[in-house]
Chain A
Amino acid sequence: MSDTHPSAVRPRAGMSRRQAWVTAAMAVVILIPSMYGFVGKFLEFVHIYRGASGGEFAVAPILNYLLASAGFFCMLLWAAWNGMFRDIEQPKIDFLENERLLDRDTRP
């Protein structure tokens, strides 16, 4: 393969119908409940903040989760905004091709 511009000659990655269905189904089953978990924790935090029973000592683990998750939620939005999930299957092809190019230099 030439080194000039790989995108012109590299195979394009498509997603089969089965892959698309499995991915979509798992996304719905996983990401929606995790968002529900995030909102739930946030509500619990508000609840405790307002002095409900449960104890202030629960604030530490809840804050911990909220901070970690909020960071990743922002990162998810940033990634989507910057097109990280467009052409979603292509990186797996490019990565293998790059590995092949790197090994071509080192192996007989």
Chain B
Amino acid sequence: MTSRSQTAAAVHDRPAHGDLVDERIILCYYVAALTFLTVSMLAGILMALQLVHWNPLNGVELLSPGRWRMIHTNAVAYGFLANAFLGTLHWAVPRLTFHKVASRPLSWFIFVAWQAIVGLTAIGIIVGPTFQDQPWLLDLAKQWRLPMNLGAQGLEWGETPFWIDPVALLGLALVAVNFMVPIGRSKGPMYVSLWYFMAAFVWTFLTYAMGNLLPEYAVAGTSAGAIGGLFIHDLVGLFVTPLGWGLMYYFVPILLKRPIWSHGLSLVGFWGLAFFYPLQGIHHFLYTPIPMFLQYGAVISTIAVELVVATVVINFFGTLGKKGSEFFTNLPIRYFYTGMVFYFITCFQCALQVTLTFQKLIHFTDWVVGHAHLVMFGVFSLWLFGIMTYLFPRLLGRPWYSRTLCEYHYWLSSVGLFVMFLDLTLAGVFQGWYWASLQPWDASTDGSQPFWITRVFAGLTMFAGLLCFLFNLWMTWRGAEAAERSTSQFAAAAT
């Protein structure tokens, strides 16, 4: 049997890259993604400054830390990651299937709608709590029987105001249609990336609907808590993970110029993710009134996911094989494999921290914050930086202005993130012991100061990396003469 992509290639007049891929929309998605990442990182720095009692916006209600924190998380998840993934999918899916997306006008509509959704979410979070007690608004809400939380929904990672949820769901449904059509049009066995993408389109829609609608309208109390736990984790595991791994299975073989070590093993990993991951979310709510069999089920399945992770790690390091030198010479590959090492660390950490014994110490501490940064920035953001480092020169038709700045971006991002992760992990252990020893709360915050100061510098380091990338991109875009002659593989591959 021939594969679906092979069948398409067999057609004599197979489409060319230019017919399949709309490069302008990818550029637009990447620009939007980097804009939101800049906002998100600035918000993160503001939060870090707040913790060391040096908030430059102190007293400004609309820009209070509680609101900035939600801007930080929402901008990175829905602004940066979602935009960057959508842009990259416009490159990968048509090339994998040899079919265009369902509709290019629809792609542009989704692009505009998605920016509006993320922008309105930010506006809702910032001004919603201030304006929702205005008399005219109260009358309006009473008349239409609307919930009164015009600002953020009281749901971690689901802070998108309730009035945006239906629009966001419609947007996700359109994304699914736009990409599923080309996948559906091809025939035969699918490459593993397409399995992951298909699953992500379905899962993301269902996860968003479950997490945002059920606790708002259908379930309450502990049950809503359980749903919230599933939502938080499924957002990572069923939205960013399948898209991230799908793109790694796509880009790594291309850059290494060799097929993945075992396609069969990659499919085992995919189906393992499909059946294990949806069980896990309740591990966020251990020691709660949620029935213990659900808590135990979540703990066991979380540990079991380590086996799924093992398949992926074995496969990618098997693919690298004797081409280990590529790690040093090929910058996108270095981004990808650094992210994979961080992924293994974060999953290993996950298997430990979901045990009831461990939770006693680290629950509510900065350990969790360090873990979240390792996942969102250390894994998925680094992968997307690698993809952008590879694709920008191809999209712009010229090599990077400066390889040195690309290197700075990598090192400042990776080292800054790793320092932040170690710092917050250690802070979490200290905080846990402070609380366990029943000292006053102030003792734990005073004791956290050295860690929080370190975090400020780690965050500034990561932000400096982003500024290097943005400056390099600006200079490359406007066609400035390359600062140095590049012989690197990443630049060569891009020209």
Identify the A interface with B (CB < 8 A). 3-7, 10, 13, 15, 19-20, 22-23, 26-27, 29-31, 33-35, 37-38, 40-41, 44, 54-55, 57-62, 64-65, 68-69, 71-73, 76, 83-99, 101-103, 105-107
Least distance between B100 CB and chain A CB atoms (Å): 13
4 tightest A-B CB contacts, nearest first: A34-B275, A57-B223, A94-B6, A30-B272
Asked if residues A62 and B294 are in contact (CB atoms below 8 Å), the reply is yes
Partner of B263, one of A29, A57, A91: A91
- B201-252: which residues lie under 8 A (CB-CB) from chain A? 202-203, 206, 210, 214, 219, 221-223, 226-227, 229-230
Residues of B within 8 A of A95 (CB): 3, 5, 96, 191, 193, 253, 259
* Binary interface encoding of chain B residues 165-192 relative to chain A, with 1 for a CB under 8 A from any of its CBs, else 0: 0000000000000000000000001111
Given A88-B267, A92-B191, A68 and B262 contact (CB-CB distance below 8 Å):
no
User: In the complex the two chains form, what is the Cα distance from A15 to B214 in whole Å?
Assistant: 46
B265 CB to nearest A CB, Å: 5
The smallest beta-carbon distance between A40 and chain B, in angstroms, is 7
A60 touches B293 (CB 8 A): no
Instruction: List the B side residues contacting A55 at CB < 8 Å.
Output: 222, 291
The minimal Cβ–Cβ distance linking A46 to chain B, given in whole angstroms, is 13
Instruction: Say yes or no: A98 contacts B95, CB within 8 Å.
Output: yes
B272: chain A residues at CB < 8 Å are 30-31, 34
CB atoms of A91 and B223 under 8 A apart: no
Interface residues of B (CB under 8 A from A): 1-3, 5-6, 8-10, 12, 14, 16-18, 20, 95-96, 98, 189-193, 199, 202-203, 206, 210, 214, 219, 221-223, 226-227, 229-230, 253-254, 257-265, 267-269, 271-272, 274-276, 278-279, 281-282, 290-291, 293-294, 297, 300-301, 304, 307-308, 310-311, 314, 495
B contact patch SS: helix
A23 touches B297 (CB 8 A): no
**A14: shortest Cβ distance to chain B, in Å?**
11
Q: Which of B227, B262, B307 contacts A15 (CB 8 A)?
A: B262
Task: For the A-B complex with A95-B5, A107-B495 known, give 8 more contacts whose Cβ atoms are closer than 8 Å.
Answer: A6-B10, A26-B269, A54-B293, A55-B222, A59-B223, A83-B1, A85-B264, A91-B263
Contact status A98-B263, CB under 8 Å = no
A23 to chain B: closest CB distance in Å? 4
Residues of A close to B265: CB separation below 8 A:
19, 22-23, 26
Cβ of B150 to closest chain A Cβ, rounded Å: 26
CB of B264 within 8 A of CB of A23, answer: yes
Instruction: Please name 10 pairs of A and B residues whose Cβ atoms are closer than 8 Å in the assembled complex, sorted by A.
Output: A31-B275, A37-B300, A44-B293, A57-B222, A61-B282, A64-B210, A69-B278, A83-B1, A92-B263, A95-B191
A54 to B80, CA, bound (A): 40
Tell me if A57 and B191 are in contact (CB < 8 A): no
- Smallest CB–CB gap between A69 and chain B, Å? 6
Q: Looking at the complex, which one of A15, A76, A90, A96 makes contact with B254 (CB distance below 8 Å)? A: A96
- Which residues of the other chain, A, contact B214 by a CB distance below 8 angstroms? 60
Report Cα–Cα, A61/B295, bound state, in Å.
11
Q: Is the CB of B206 within 8 A of A91?
A: no
Query: B14: which of A3, A10, A38, A91 is its contact (CB, 8 Å)?
Result: A3
The SS class assigned to the A binding surface is helix
Pair B189/A7 contact, Cβ less than 8 Å: no
Inter-subunit contact A27/B14 (CB<8 Å): no
| Residue in A71, A73, A91 whose beta carbon sits within 8 Å of that of B192 in the complex | A91
How far apart sit A35 and B226, CA to CA, in the bound complex (Å)?
22
Q: Are B263 and A89 in contact (CB under 8 A)?
A: yes
Given A35-B275, A64-B278 in contact, is the A88-B189 Cβ separation under 8 Å? yes
CA distance A97 to B259 in the complex (A): 10
Which residues of A sit under 8 angstroms from B95, Cβ to Cβ? 98-99, 102
Q: Which residue of B lies closest to A94 (CB)?
A: B6
| Interface pair B301/A64, CB less than 8 Å apart | no
Inter-subunit contact A94/B9 (CB<8 Å): yes
Nearest chain B CB to A10's CB is how many angstroms away?
A: 7
CB of A43 to closest CB in B, whole Å? 10
A44 CA to B295 CA, complexed, in Å: 13
Known contacts A54-B293, A65-B278, A72-B275; A90/B3 CB under 8 A: yes
| Residue numbers in B under 8 Å from A64 (CB-CB) | 210, 227, 230, 278
Chain A residues positioned under 8 Å from B274 (CB to CB): 69, 72, 76
